[in-house]
Chains A and B, each alone.
Chain A
Amino acid sequence: MSARDVVITGIGLVSSLGEGTEQHWQQLTSADAEPRIDRERFSPYTIHPLPQLDWGQQIPKRSDQRQMETWQRLGTYSAGLALDDAGMKGDEALCATMDMIVAAGGGERDTTVDTSILQQSQDSSDVDVLLNDRLTTDLRPTLFLAQLSNLLAGNISIVHKVTGSSRTFMGEEGAGVSAISTAAARIRAGQSTHSLVGAAFQTEHPDMLLNYELGGYLHRGDWAPVWNRGDAPGGGVVTGSGGAFLVLESREHAQARGAKIYAVLGRVAAAGASPDEEQMVAMLGELDLPEGPHLAIAGASGANAVTASERSALNKAGLSARGFSTLTGHLKEAQFPFAVALAALAVSHHAAPAPLDEGEAPLAGAVDMAVATSFGYRRFGGVAAVGRA
């Protein structure tokens, strides 16, 4: 135990399962939890939609809400939940010295404008000139800001007054891994005392699906658990909308303000390129886990080959996996923060989520250690050890 241990003191979660730690934990430990899916809106793709949210609960000003599209609202909302949970919301001194790393992709484009331009392009002899004409007339300035990757962090600064620092990492799941590992490394080294870190993904927009489907990654069959999509049409990924933010703190900082501590974030191992099964096993080895059996909150995307490798690597490491995407869908940049958050919840409850499909083994005994994983559908990956406070 050290004063500079990285502890998790705030968790903000939103997914199709609901919002907040209690709703998520209750769903995940229920033996008969059902996925909430929408198969119609983006057919032939299935998605896990957002639950009903009252944005005003975390973004009180209408004028702020209007400056954002759903992705930024969702991230700002989830960040607010985490700050509330950590007991930091509205504490000006704590927020003004708080560091922030957000993992982000891009925001929503205007589908109406895009669609109209695409249609008109069919009858145009010079599409570039058409583009200039239409974009000049039709684009809204606020939408540009709603699309900018770093403006989720910008909105969190404006709405929640987190201003110690603001960094946005990009790069799909890997961005979430780097965000958490960097925030933790800074705290461990004394470069930071408390940090807000997380991401949101808004899948209910066709452009967000297009980024997967250009590579043929989306699952097109009937809904199936994340581990069991290999034989179905498509690439195995079912996406979901959601957000996950964490408040990370040095143990010393958390104790000094009497904060409740969910768990300790231990080692994080990350990989560039495209880790194969052997590398995954090696990364899990880097966590230096005590004798098991242990729980793994697996961020497997469902992407056929990578997911099969992850399953096998987790088995070899003797880990009992829970592929949470079965219930939430793939949350892209938010996948690793979500996994770490669930691992912290499991550790703080001393219990594992219920098996989410028949291939996941029950785990008896008190959980005092959980591994969080996220291996990207295309590239990069990370694993973390989360232990008892």
Chain B
Amino acid sequence: MTSSVDHLGRPIVAVTGLGVVTSLGVGKADNWAALTAGKSGIHPITRFPTDHLRTTIGGMVDFLPSSGRGTAALTRELAETAAAEAIEQAGIGKTFGGPLFLASPPIEIEWADRFTLYNASEDGDGYARLLAAARSRNDRSLFEASQFGQIADSLSERFGTRGLPVTLSTACASGATAIQLGVEAIRRGECDRALAIGADGSATAEALIRFSLLSALSTNNDTPERASKPFSRDRDGFVLAEGGAALVLESLESARARGAKILGIMQGCGERADDFHRTRSKPDGSPAIAAVKAALDDAGYGIDAIDYVNAHGTSTPENDKMEHLSLSTVFGERIKSIPVSSNKSMIGHTLSAAGAVEAVFSFLTMQNGVLPPTINYDQPDPAIDLDVVPNVKRAADVRAVLSNSFGFGGQNACLVMAREPA
């Protein structure tokens, strides 16, 4: 049996449970079947009217009981559904017994609730009237839906996680950061296992409009399933999407001791903040490059160890160019022979959930020996010379995966995952 500590003498962190929900469906089986079939989950928005909107498509999760019941409710259900699947697979009972790290979107009072409050009072105007109505109604469920800590609190109770649950946001890198926090806690010896979740059910009209104002979204409304086209010459933005994913992280020693099936190893994590601009990366790509290198170093890997890159691949002109720059800088000529594909071509950008969703898919990639494709790759961007696994899945023996997550606010987080302990 191999060692249970890594190249730096730290506990090796195994993954013993995985769960996922995206616009492609609930659970690993349905998602993996759709993802490897090159199926898109992007569709016209039906949750709210799209009059006046520049973008009218999304990768929304419309099939859960909480769909349409607000960001907090849907985010919670996405997290809970994914976590239940992961914990069941890990064979852990009702009490999880380790800390919870939840990546979720910032919470705001929904417009529907603002209107309800406003109509409930006739005192004053604007916010004074909302405050008067808040006082007189004392609606606990509305109050709870406005609290940032509420989702994690409720999940912690549901799954019996230990201690003060952490809710975090590193924008589009959040899911990866949640995993990183879990890995660090296990490496510190604070716990034998941690539950890392990324969930995002925040596709509201206002969210869509905000990203539109930043010119970040695809406006390819006529053919939604073809709108997300990472690394293509004609890519025109990301597609806003929802999803949730959960990973049971566990020290290899603890997983072996209880006879759990090891689904893979969380080998290394790296991060670096960018100080250049609020929404744009430093032109030389140095922070993203540093994050990739930090993840490889943390994993104890050279560039030859990576067999596949699960790209951030948002389909925005800026991201895909910068991601190519950072990968080609770190991997040099070898990048041309490493397949790099983007799950977002099919599921869109699940924002706070993306890093976790894509980590789950990275483990499924290794387990199944199949690379999910980058779909809609009909017009390659000549400036991005990558093997993007165009349009059709491919069989491959994958021992280790690099997954990238980059976000607004200069957030860069990278994960290195392995199929088996070294």
Contact = CB atoms under 8 A, between A and B. Distances in A.
A270 B156 CA distance: 14
A275 to B, nearest CB: 10
Contact of B164 (A136, A174, A213): A174
A214 B134 contact: yes
A213 B209 contact: no
B51 A133 contact: yes
B167 A162 contact: no
Contact of A158 (B125, B147, B410): B410
Contacts, number: 245
A307 to B, nearest CB: 18
A380 interface: yes
Contacts of A115: 125-127
A100 B142 contact: no
A270 B162 CA distance: 10
A254 to B, nearest CB: 21
A121 interface: yes
Interface in A85-114: 100, 104-106, 109, 111, 114
A128 B181 contact: no
B130 A206 contact: yes
B188 A214 contact: no
B409 A150 contact: yes
B342 interface: no
B330 interface: no
Contacts of A126: 49
Interface residues of B, number: 82
A271 B99 CA distance: 11
Given A151-B409, A158-B410, A191 B188 contact: yes
B149 A170 contact: yes
Given A121-B115, A215-B138, A270-B164, A165 B273 contact: yes
Interface stretch (A138-146, A296-304, A316-324): A138-146
A209 B143 CA distance: 12
Interface in B194-210: 205-206, 209-210
A177 interface: yes
B408 A169 contact: no
B204 to A, nearest CB: 10
Interface stretch (B77-85, B106-114, B303-311): B106-114
Nearest to B104: A170
Interface stretch (A5-13, A178-186, A360-368): A178-186
A244 B140 CA distance: 30
Contacts of A382: 164
Interface string A347-389: 0000000000000000000000000000010111110000000
Given A133-B51, A141-B213, A379-B149, A164 B107 contact: no
Nearest to A177: B164
B383 interface: no
Contacts of B144: 215
A209 to B, nearest CB: 6
Contact of B52 (A132, A139, A211): A132
B184 A191 contact: yes
19 contacts: A100-B273, A115-B126, A132-B205, A148-B106, A150-B171, A154-B409, A157-B274, A157-B410, A158-B410, A166-B170, A166-B409, A167-B170, A170-B106, A175-B167, A211-B109, A214-B142, A215-B140, A272-B164, A380-B153
Given A114-B127, A174-B149, 15 more contacts: A100-B273, A111-B126, A128-B49, A136-B53, A154-B273, A157-B274, A158-B275, A162-B273, A182-B166, A206-B130, A210-B134, A214-B138, A214-B146, A216-B138, A382-B164
